[in-house]
Amino acid sequence: MTEDVLIRREGAAGFLSLNRPKAIHALTLDMVHAMTQALLQWREDPSVEVVIIDHAEGRGFCSGGDIAFLRNSALNDGGISGRRFFHDEYQLNHLIFTYPKPVVAFMDGITMGGGVGISQPARFHVATENTRYAMPETGIGLFPDVGGGWYLSRLPGRIGQFLALTGARLDGAECKWAGLATHYLPHDGLADAKARLAAGHDPAQVLAALAVTPPEARIEGNAARIARHFASDRFEDVLASLEGEDSDWAAKELATLRTKSPQTCKVALRQLKDSLTCTDFAANMAMEYRIGSRVLTLPDFAEGVRAVIVDKDGAPKWDPASPEGVTDALIDSIFAPLPADEEWKPL
């Protein structure tokens, strides 16, 4: 059992409190396994009526997955341990999505990547004034996984495609407006909410009673632009559309996209498009595991992590270097089925 997740019972509630503050509670494989084991035990325990996912201390809910571990796998073991991480993490994501009891995730602070993966599938995902929500994977040669294809593709107005490509950060009010949070509570009200849940009160009623009206969502002012410029599933079309608008906003978003991996931007657009054809969340996760298994060992991931996290020079050398260099054949190979005995399956 790892100390990086504090697992406890309090009244009718089971708590999974992330406890790795120096890493903003980034998920390790041990944490994934501990959370999965607790959820499986509580699923069969009638005295556990609700599960609460939160963090123990520090400024973030969960900053993502263990990127350094994944890069080390890509460089040193051909991605074997990294694929296992994805496999087991996606099983946890799916377990939360299909859990028969209410799960309430409190996204109080930084919620990115793997943090989205353990909060978005919860029945209730609560934003606060501290929430900073993003799927920034294209900036490190990865893609918005952990179910991102499912959630982002189903947002209105191409907001999901915008978030997947740019890695834009949303605050709590913007999450609520976009449909990425079921409720908006003030940070100061969270302890009361958790106490009421532990006392056995109905989660929907508790959260509705304590929710407040969020501030104006800044992203709403750009919603029409986002819908127009990010309308296409071709990355080249998105870039051309932004190039065609003479505004500070378009110039800023275009400059942002120019820093991203062209390969994984194309992967993300295909991922969100294909997710809409998935019959259920498990099918989406099987697709994302195929993608992850390939992208992990392609050059852009190790290079992106080097540039952003290891050397911090902010100057990744993407390969291919341009959107035009990313062929349809390369994208098709990333999405192709795995051998039958290697395909992802839910728990």
Q: Does residue 230 lie within any of the structural domains? A: yes
Q: Token pair of 54, please?
A: 């939160």
Q: Does residue 325 lie within any of the structural domains? A: yes
Q: Does residue 236 lie within any of the structural domains? A: yes
- Model confidence at 1, pLDDT cuts 50, 70, 90, reads low
β partners of residue 183? 126
pLDDT tens for each residue of 4-22? 999 999 999 999 999 999 9
Q: Read off the CATH number of the domain in which 38 is found.
A: 3.90.226.10
Q: Does residue 195 lie within any of the structural domains? A: yes
Asked about 82 being catalytic, the answer comes back as no
Asked about 174 being catalytic, the answer comes back as no
State residue 190's pLDDT score.
Answer: 98
Catalytic residue selected from 14, 65, 79, 117: 65
Q: Token pair of 70, please?
A: 């994944």
CB 26 within 8 A of CB 67: yes
Question: How far is 151 from 172, CA to CA, in rounded Å?
Answer: 17
Q: Does residue 332 lie within any of the structural domains? A: yes
Residue 199's domain comprises 5-342
Cα–Cα distances (Å) from 331 to 241, 264, 275, 304, 325, in that order, read 22, 9, 15, 18, 11
Give the mean pLDDT of the chain.
Answer: 97
| pLDDT at residue 3 tops 80 | yes
Question: How far is 230 from 211, CA to CA, in rounded Å?
Answer: 32
Percent over 70 (pLDDT), the chain: 100
Catalytic residue selected from 113, 114, 117, 172: 114
User: The tokens 């400024």 sit on which residue?
Assistant: 59
Q: Does residue 337 lie within any of the structural domains? A: yes
Asked about 236 being catalytic, the answer comes back as no
In the chain, where do the E strands start and end? 5-10, 13-18, 50-55, 60-62, 103-107, 110-112, 124-127, 132-134, 170-171, 183-184
State residue 59's pLDDT score.
Answer: 81
Q: Is the pTM of this model over 0.95?
A: yes
3-state class of 146 per DSSP?
Answer: coil
State residue 32's pLDDT score.
Answer: 98
Asked about 244 being catalytic, the answer comes back as no
Catalytic residue selected from 54, 108, 145, 303: 145
Total domains in the fold of the chain: 1
3-state class of 15 per DSSP?
Answer: strand
β partners of residue 103? 51
β partners of residue 170? 133
Strands of 50-55's sheet in order across: 5-10, 13-18, 50-55, 103-107, 124-127, 183-184
pLDDT tens for each residue of 109-163? 999 999 999 999 999 999 999 999 999 999 999 999 999 999 999 999 999 999 9
CB 111 within 8 A of CB 232: no
Q: Does residue 17 lie within any of the structural domains? A: yes
pLDDT tens for each residue of 269-298? 999 999 999 999 999 999 999 999 999 999
Q: In this structure, what DSSP letter does residue 323 have?
A: G
Q: What is the mean pLDDT of residues 190-204?
A: 98
pLDDT tens for each residue of 81-100? 999 999 999 999 999 999 99
pLDDT tens for each residue of 307-325? 999 999 999 999 999 999 9
User: The tokens 């098709």 sit on which residue?
Assistant: 332
β partners of residue 6? 17
Q: Does residue 309 lie within any of the structural domains? A: yes
Question: How far is 296 from 230, CA to CA, in rounded Å?
Answer: 26
Catalytic residue selected from 49, 54, 89, 137: 137
* Element holding 53 (H helix, E strand): strand 50-55
- Model confidence at 185, pLDDT cuts 50, 70, 90, reads very high
